[in-house]
Amino acid sequence: MLYVPTMLDWKQLPRPIVALAPMADMTDLPFCLICKEHGAPLVFREMVSSEAVVRGNAKTLDMAKFDEAERPIIQQIFGSNPFVMAEAANIIEERYHPDGIDINMGCPVYNIVSNFNGASLIRDHDRAAAIVRAVKKAVSIPVSVKTRLGWSRDTDCLEFVKVIEDAGANLISMHGRTKEQGYSGKADWKSVGKARARTSLPFLVNGDIVNVETARSALAESGADGMLIGRGALGNPWFFCEIRAAFDGTISFTKPTIEERVKVALRHAKLHAERYGERGLVKLRKHLPYYFKKDLKSDYPWIDIMELRAKLVRISTLEELEAVLRDLPYSAPRE
């Protein structure tokens, strides 16, 4: 059946906009589904290489596949060649029909910026604008840009957001650190706000949003229309329901119990096995400790959380994971 997309209109979405941020090697199909099942209104998929898409690389194209339950879904791409980026966006739209294309202009990782991708584009306004214009012309869906405060200065973004807006982007999201900071230090939401004030586009703030308090502060200090939640959602898909409950009185939130954490971790594991085969459980190891963070010790002092986490990063099969989690004592032992 021919897919007829429902056009995503960033300007008309209820405020605050709440979405799962694109995270390399993290926001794949299984995790995006888990987040959608627990209240994420929107999800941004992990970035894929435009060069690999255009070459027809099977692994890369498979990364862009998604489940209909993930909608609305935005596929992020990266690259430095406007023509290749445009062709890749067109291939992804025609093959998979996502609800939007996001252009990575913020990744600080060396092997990305060394090839003039990601955050390198903040220093090349002409190339960045050409990429946005080319992608916009190549697709019929909204085009957004994810970037940072700058390369080395937190003022680099002030002119850059105008360049992106003038090139025709539909949305800007901004991480509150420079490329040189990487993920160190604290996200500077006030500096994000200075960039936000320079554009009329819908704008999302990103970085260090890990609870309701930081979500409120990020929005207040940045003046953004919404937020991208990244590491705060790892092992905590309930965070989306919690955020929405804090801003929308029609939704309630209850802190997940250890039983619920086990249930969702196992659901995540089964999705991984379906998506990647039995070896998918090795790929899941990086997610599992997040479901059982150290601060659970205060609620469940009788569980050795550190020993549990150590076991989780060694599992290789679904059966091993089930065995580790099966015997967890949910209630305090009787004296």
Residues noted as catalytic? 107
Tokens 């709440």 belong to: 18
**In contact, 19 and 30? CB cutoff 8 Å:** no
**Which residue in the block uniquely carries the two structure tokens 């704008």?**
203
CA-atom Rg of the chain in angstroms: 20
- In sequence order, the β-bridge partners of residue 103 are 77, 145
- For 33, the token pair is 């589904």
3-state secondary structure labels for all residues of the chain: CCCCCCCCCCCCCCCCEEEECCCCCCCCHHHHHHHHHCCCCEEEEEEEEHHHHHHCCHHHHHHCCCCHHHCCEEEEEECCCHHHHHHHHHHHHHHHCCCEEEEEECCCCHHHHCCCCHHHHHHCHHHHHHHHHHHHHHCCCCEEEEEEEECCCCCHHHHHHHHHHHHCCCEEEEEEEECCCCCCCCCCHHHHHHHHCCCCCCEEEECCCCCHHHHHHHHHHHCCCEEEECHHHCCCCCHHHHHHHHHCCCCCCCCCCHHHHHHHHHHHHHHHHHHHCCCHHHHHCCCHHHHCCHHHHHCCCCCCHHHHHHHHCCCCCHHHHHHHHHCCCCCCCCC
Rounded Cα distance, 12 and 72, in Å: 14
As beta bridge partners, residue 172 has 145, 203
